[in-house]
Structure 1
Amino acid sequence: MSDLFTPYKLGPLTLRNRTIRSAAFESMGKDFGPTQQLKDYHVSVARGGVGMTTVAYASVNRSGVSFNKQLWLRPEIVPGLRDMTDAIHAEGAAAGIQIGHCGNMTHWSTAGCFPVGASTGFNLYSPTFVRGMRRSECAAFAKDFGQAVRTAHEAGFDSVEVHAGHGYLISQFLSPYTNHRRDEYGGSLQNRMRFMRMCLEEVLEAAARCGMAVLVKHNMEDGFKRGIQIPESLEIAREIERLGAHGIVLTSGFVSKAPMAVMRGRIPTKTMSHYMPWSSWPQKIVISLFGSRMIRQYDFEECYFLENARKFRAELKCPLVYVGGLVSREGIERVLGAGFELVQMARALVNDPAFVNKLRDGDMTTRSGCDHRDYCMARMYSVDMQCCHNCKEPIPEKIWRELAKIK
């Protein structure tokens, strides 16, 4: 008997089944707040059968936002978020929200200040100069994580997912690639975990008072030699477990260094350049001409993180959430059979928000229509996240030609 469509108790929260819409950036906000489009998308996913849908990457303060379409979790947007969570609940799904801070991948124009990170330097991905955070800021930002939980509770969310991976702020403290500090926040792994520990303590205390579930998104590896490798990552995961998180979402990759290690596949770089605004013309031209050489490409395969994730399952007792390349009932069953309590998906639900209901009503061969040409990601940061198979606007022929080569 499959566990897929059985309820699961995640801390204080009971999900109707084992599926979660992962917190892939929708790029559907406006002025750091929610929109009708963002609501409609998550409601469609809830109606489509998931146990919980997760609203992506809400910053805990103004300095953490990289895009105007990204959420900044603050009292002013609570009514709009409450309208969305009420509609999600009406469809029988739980509502989660991912909280974090972009760190050195922010911009003055969006963050409203000089970008900050674990250490001073230059981030070529943004591109921007970055100032290392002061000790007092570390403590203040940790408090902001706790306040973000309380705000999320007021907005009707059932769960928060703390983003501690992918090279964003907490990950920047954890990774030796971005953390070059010589104080108590740098050097040894215990020191590099200090900021994460402070943030999670604030989050867990606030969540306990609010009766909310807490997930932590954690890198199994950064995806390159100078980043976090699995032995250190296991130590970090044990600390997350010790602190009392209700579950860990296992991921990999570093957006500013190895972005496709996160999502896998061969991203259409000319499509990415096409959707970038002319206000970012230097990046637009560079990506168009050299993107395929600059961004390391990976072949897609279903369950691409499973081999590494099994190593964490063998060492940890807390609930683990598998994410990474789930596009079929067979793949989901393989993950659940390996001992993972919950599964997350994004691209399959961008292709078809009703995918989970179709899994429930179909058979073991049911498979998503997503073919992983990654058009959705190529336009995600510039426009919004849409699948090429059901895009609401005409797609230029030159883009179809590039997608055809990838397929």
Structure 2
Amino acid sequence: MEPQHLPDEKSQLFTPYRLGGVTLRNRTIRSAAFESMGRDFSPTEQLKQYHVSVARGGIGMTTLAYAAVCRSGLSFRKQLWLREAIVPQLATITDAVHKEGAAASIQIGHCGNMTHPTTAGQIPIGASSGFNLYAYTPVRGMRHDEIRQVARDFGQAVRTAHRAGFDCVEVHAGHGYLISQFLSPYTNRRHDAYGGTLENRMRFMRMCLDEVMDAARQTGTAVLVKHNMYDGFRGGIEIPESLEIAREIERYGVDGIVLSGGFVSKAPMAVMRGLIPIYTMSHYAPLWLRYFIRWCGPLMIRQFPFEECYFLEDAKRFRAELKGTLVYVGGLVSREGIERALGSGFELVQMGRALVNDPAFVARLQAGDRSTRSACDHRNYCIARMYSLDMRCCKHCDDLPRKIREELARLP
């Protein structure tokens, strides 16, 4: 039997929602999917125009992705480094987004062991020492003074975001980046006050949230936290431990928690789901990595089939345990799916690929009938090119190489 939902006049989707100090015009947020539209760690006109198009397309709030809180947190030159020097450029983006009626958010984080000396300006740092195949570089475990400094950098990033006109920040504590690296037993092998027990593994996260919430209270900035429900492989965080972490995040009085999952250096498709275009991924990879992906990719990258609302059943377990605002993300491609999430008790929803395919997707939802569905087919071309060029749907590319067109045509 098909799920039954409230009639349109009873739907929450296009009703306002108060998130901290900002009121969103509806319940939709553009998720912090990496645009790869920066240049030399700074914003560009392309980045501005993309987010303006999403704002014009009816979104409640759009999120600039993946902004590093300090130089050591950078993985890519097209990534943002949130610092005072780029405040005027960011302010042009937030001003333009606000003129279209949407709120503006920026995701803040640190890539930890997935950085590279050429971008981070130093040997990558993380919860523990080791070697990271993702960046093909050695990693040094952080000293206590570095841990304290990076936590302070998170707080400073909130103040910088406020000066740039952002209404909200999203703290990235998932997907295997630095905060997540401290939380996960897979990447945290420390034997000091930051490792071992879950209480110790949460210590760095708590330090970051102390700084973030102090800055947010001073500036009136809303705070979301992206949190892993699970890492997606044996030896990582599972739901019971994740629930304890989520309760701790909620205790800080954050304005909402975004429930996600997956670990980009170990189980990347647990985050995104869908098909894996191996040749396309290798085509856009650096030369040294190209043939490694073609030969070993099918063995190393575990597939997670796409289904609409793929995180929803797990997210409901968190909804049953937590009292505050929860944001659902994961596989929202239709009005029906969005209504399922909102009808399950989630106050807000985030979308990524549906808005890469069509920045005006939300406006089409509002104007159309309940059968409105995104044209995204989750062949994940946009993911394959994201870290090298920019995040763009294959349906908007007229100059694809022949072999890529052939591979995409073969995928079901």
- Same fold by TM (over 0.5)? yes
Partner of 1:315: 321
Any stretches of 5+ residues in structure 2 without a counterpart? 1-9
Moved over 6 A (4+): none
Write the distance in 1 (CA, Å) between the matches of 2:360 and 2:345.
25
Where 1:389 maps in the other structure, the secondary structure is: helix
Write the distance in 2 (CA, Å) between the matches of 1:396 and 1:141.
42
Q: Which residue, 179, 189, 193 being the options, matches 1:184?
A: 193
Partner of 1:360: 366
Which string of whole-angstrom CA distances, capped at 9 and with x for unpartnered residues, describes residues 254-313 of structure 1? Answer: 00000000000122111011122xxx3221111122212221112110000001000000
Residue 338 (1) aligns with residue 347 (2): no
Where 1:27 maps in the other structure, the secondary structure is: coil
Where 2:148 maps in the other structure, the secondary structure is: helix
- Whether the 8 Å CA contact 1:249–1:323 is kept in 2: the answer is yes
Partner of 1:74: 83
Which string of whole-angstrom CA distances, capped at 9 and with x for unpartnered residues, describes residues 190-219 of structure 1? Answer: 000000000011001101111110000000
Write the distance in 2 (CA, Å) between the matches of 1:156 and 1:226.
41
Within-5 A mapping of 1:192-211? 192-211=201-220
Write the distance in 1 (CA, Å) between the matches of 2:407 and 2:298.
12
Amino acid at match of 2:113: N
Within-5 A mapping of 1:56-205? 56-205=65-214
Q: Which moved more, 1:287-296 or 1:65-74?
A: 287-296
Residue 268 (1) aligns with residue 273 (2): no
Partner of 2:388: 382
Residue 400 (1) aligns with residue 401 (2): no
Residue 26 (1) aligns with residue 32 (2): no
Amino acid at match of 1:177: Y
Q: Which residue, 306, 321, 325 being the options, matches 1:300?
A: 306
Which string of whole-angstrom CA distances, capped at 9 and with x for unpartnered residues, describes residues 303-344 of structure 1? Answer: 000010000000000100000000000000000000000000
Where 1:367 maps in the other structure, the secondary structure is: coil
Aligned-pair RMSD on alpha carbons?
0.7
Partner of 1:373: 379
Amino acid at match of 2:181: Q
Which string of whole-angstrom CA distances, capped at 9 and with x for unpartnered residues, describes residues 201-252 of structure 1? Answer: 1001101111110000000000011000000000000000001111000000
Q: Which residue, 266, 276, 280 being the options, matches 1:257?
A: 266
Write the distance in 2 (CA, Å) between the matches of 1:400 and 1:340.
38
Write the distance in 2 (CA, Å) between the matches of 1:198 and 1:111.
22
The alignment's TM-score, normalised by the length of structure 1, stands at: 0.98
Amino acid at match of 1:131: R
Which string of whole-angstrom CA distances, capped at 9 and with x for unpartnered residues, describes residues 71-117 of structure 1? Answer: 00001111100001000000000000000000000000000011000
Partner of 1:224: 233
Amino acid at match of 2:399: P
Q: CA deviation at 1:124?
A: 1.2
Write the distance in 2 (CA, Å) between the matches of 1:127 and 1:311.
37
Where 1:24 maps in the other structure, the secondary structure is: coil
Q: How many residues align?
A: 403
Write the distance in 1 (CA, Å) between the matches of 2:22 and 2:221.
7
Where 2:305 maps in the other structure, the secondary structure is: coil
- Whether the 8 Å CA contact 1:52–1:94 is kept in 2: the answer is yes
Amino acid at match of 1:405: R
Where 1:382 maps in the other structure, the secondary structure is: coil
Percent identity for Structure 1 against Structure 2: 72
Amino acid at match of 1:311: R
Amino acid at match of 2:212: V
Q: CA deviation at 1:397?
A: 1.8
Partner of 2:332: 326
Write the distance in 1 (CA, Å) between the matches of 2:305 and 2:226.
23
Amino acid at match of 1:328: S
Write the distance in 2 (CA, Å) between the matches of 1:225 and 1:290.
20
Write the distance in 2 (CA, Å) between the matches of 1:275 and 1:251.
26
